[in-house]
Amino acid sequence: DAGITQSPRHKVTETGTPVTLRCHQTENHRYMYWYRQDPGHGLRLIHYSYGVKDTDKGEVSDGYSVSRSKTEDFLLTLESATSSQTSVYFCAISEQSSNQPQHFGDGTRLSIL
Amino acid sequence: AQSVTQLGSHVSVSEGALVLLRCNYSSSVPPYLFWYVQYPNQGLQLLLKYTTGATLVKGINGFEAEFKKSETSFHLTKPSAHMSDAAEYFCAVSSNRDDKIIFGKGTRLHILP
């Protein structure tokens, strides 16, 4: 299995608080992705990174920011969490883009009350 | 823009019967196509992928898929269902012009004893 660790695995917080999710990889892959998974919507891309300090938006980026200061770490931040951001968040990595498969972490279940 | 449509959010088959999960894609350039499987409380795992070459692709756990350009389809099949195949399955599309993979909304496969 690809070495991907997401932390925390579960989190409950209140509306308006900041939240940071961490994705750590040991594979030295260039690409890293953050998705959210919601019933009836499948996986939707939030942000992705194609190198250190190189990031781009996905289809549901509003309300989220990311940072990648090291190859191995990709952080997802909710500056002021809202109940609509309650979801399961997945990190994925890929050695190259497009034709290479993505390897997924086990997810973070985030509940915002 | 690329897109993926998975027909049927839920599919039920009897143990030992044929599994057929349908996926149609839209892409203006040659696509790369993937099937992933997700077991409860886990991330997605790659089942198989098509990039170029042979249109019939064999994957893990006895699954295979056939790329049919004329029908813009990439249906997933398995000759004989097993109870352990119960999971959610995602079809995905990408291309050599994109850093991102677009996922379908998923099909939950139920295996009846």
According to the 3-state scheme, what is the secondary structure of A50-66?
EECCEEEECCCCCCEEE
Contacts of A50 in chain B (CB under 8 A): 99
pLDDT at A98: 63
Contact A107, A113 (CB under 8 A): no
DSSP secondary-structure letter at B104? -
Q: Does A31 touch chain B (CB under 8 A)?
A: yes
Mean per-residue pLDDT, B58-76: 95
Asked if A5 has any chain B CB less than 8 Å from its own CB, the reply is no
Of A31, A43, A101, the CB nearest to B99: A31
Q: What is the predicted pLDDT for the residue at B53?
A: 87
Minimum Cα–Cα distance from A44: chain B residue: B103
> Of B56, B60, B31, whose CA–CA distance to B48 is shortest?
B60
Cβ contact, residue pair A97, B9, below 8 Å = no
- pLDDT tens figures, A40-62: 888 999 999 999 999 999 999 99
| Pairs of residues, one from chain A and one from chain B, whose beta carbons lie less than 8 Å apart | 60
